[in-house]
A and B are shown apart, each in its own frame.
Chain A
Amino acid sequence: MTASKEERFSALLDGEVSDFEKRRLVDELLKDEDAQGQWMRSHLIGDAMRGELPETISMDFAAAISDKIEQEEEINVSHSSGPQWFKPAAGFSVAAMVAVVSVLSLQSMVGYEQGSSPVPTVVSKAAPPVSADNANVQLASTPVSPTQEDVSSEEVQRRINRYLINHSEYASRPGVLPHARIVGYEQAGQ
């Protein structure tokens, strides 16, 4: 004797069917409202037996959720103005702009550091290879004046020294070591 459809649904509820039968029964369940009613009541029976019934029971609870989901999806569709490609394109544009700005700032920073270097490397790079006799003339004619460089170099060293002295006051372990560094730097600089 073959089992009735209702009996097979009862077994499906307990997960006691083969994979093939399960797929077939789920197909039927999704199409059959009476079967869904039986499904709901069968679960309600189990919940009642286990004392898991809630205080308020609404038979339209699932339908209300379904309606709400549908409403939200309709709202989302109407709110998503503009073509579908807009969001990724906008994201890409922002990323590209950030990348360009980063590269430009990096370049300008590098340029600034090179230009303001207290070490007279600009002069030696800018000057073509010359003979020892006219080297002084060549150096004097370069746009970066040696006097200015000396001043800025001294100024930078003075600032660094001041910074290191100030910094040593805030050092977690005040003592000989920070001062030893300062002395060491001055000696090396001179």
Chain B
Amino acid sequence: MGADTTDAELVKRVQAGDKRAFDVLVLKYQSRIINLISRYVSDPHAAMDVAQEAFIKAYKGLKNFRGDSAFYTWMYRIAINTAKNHLASIGRKIPEYAVDAQEAEQFDGDSGLKEYATPERELMRDEIQSTVHKAIEALPEDLKAAITLRELEGMSYEEIAEVMDCPIGTVRSRIFRAREAIDKRLKPLLD
């Protein structure tokens, strides 16, 4: 079990020729990949283009992906290489604060971005961020704890059940209800 196993299933579908499965993987990782590339590529629009290129490269290379590493580790590596190639193509040095594939999995994406941000570009991100945080603050304590342990601590349902001293089914339900409550506030913002 684990989020990786869902990725593995989606990868299998892409390898079998189902392009929709790749869309689902992109939907899952787009923010993290764009954010990662932003650490190398300062211009946000260029970062989006590089991220797009990285995903297309990943799609093309997926038929040779054997699953020796997790999909996101593999994807991060492609993203970093694409960003480095982009910098080389425009004759820029790779920034010192750039992260490698291993660090990328744990890095705090908020740092290092602000210097490039403009008020307009930040608006959407800030709105989403603030909506999500407000929604979390408004959650009942048990839902807040469950979603926090899951999203911030990366705990499995079993571990959360142990920490919260409740059945796994309850954890599953609490996490879902927390997401549902946050989504209720977020959806109108994105529509």
Contact = CB atoms under 8 A, between A and B. Distances in A.
B173 interface: yes
Interface residues of A, number: 52
A43 B52 contact: no
Contacts of A43: 27-29, 31
Nearest to A43: B28
Interface string A77-109: 000000000000000000000000000000000
A50 B151 CA distance: 7
Contacts of B133: 48
Contact of B157 (A14, A38, A41): A14
B21 A54 contact: no
B186 interface: yes
Interface in B127-186: 128-129, 132-133, 136, 147-148, 150-152, 156-157, 172-173, 175-176, 179-180, 182-183, 186
A23 B8 CA distance: 11
Contacts of A126: none
A26 B23 contact: no
Interface stretch (A63-71, A110-118, A172-180): A63-71
B20 interface: yes
A16 B28 contact: no
Contacts of A50: 108-109, 151-152
Range for the number of chain B residues in contact with chain A: 35 or more
B88 interface: no
A34 to B, nearest CB: 11
Contact of B31 (A13, A37, A47): A47
Interface in B1-24: 1-6, 9-10, 13, 18-24
Interface string B117-130: 10001101100110
Nearest to B55: A65
B113 A13 contact: no
Contact of A12 (B6, B38, B122): B6
Interface in A1-59: 3-4, 6-7, 10-17, 19, 22-23, 26, 29-30, 36-59
Interface of B: 1-6, 9-10, 13, 18-24, 26-32, 34-35, 38, 44-45, 47-48, 51-52, 55-56, 59, 108-110, 113, 116-117, 121-122, 124-125, 128-129, 132-133, 136, 147-148, 150-152, 156-157, 172-173, 175-176, 179-180, 182-183, 186-187, 190
Given A7-B173, A44-B31, 7 more contacts: A6-B180, A15-B2, A36-B27, A40-B28, A48-B132, A61-B30, A65-B59
Interface of A: 3-4, 6-7, 10-17, 19, 22-23, 26, 29-30, 36-59, 61-66, 68-70, 72
Query: Which 4 interchain pairs have the tightest Cβ spacing?
Result: A51-B110, A52-B109, A54-B34, A48-B132
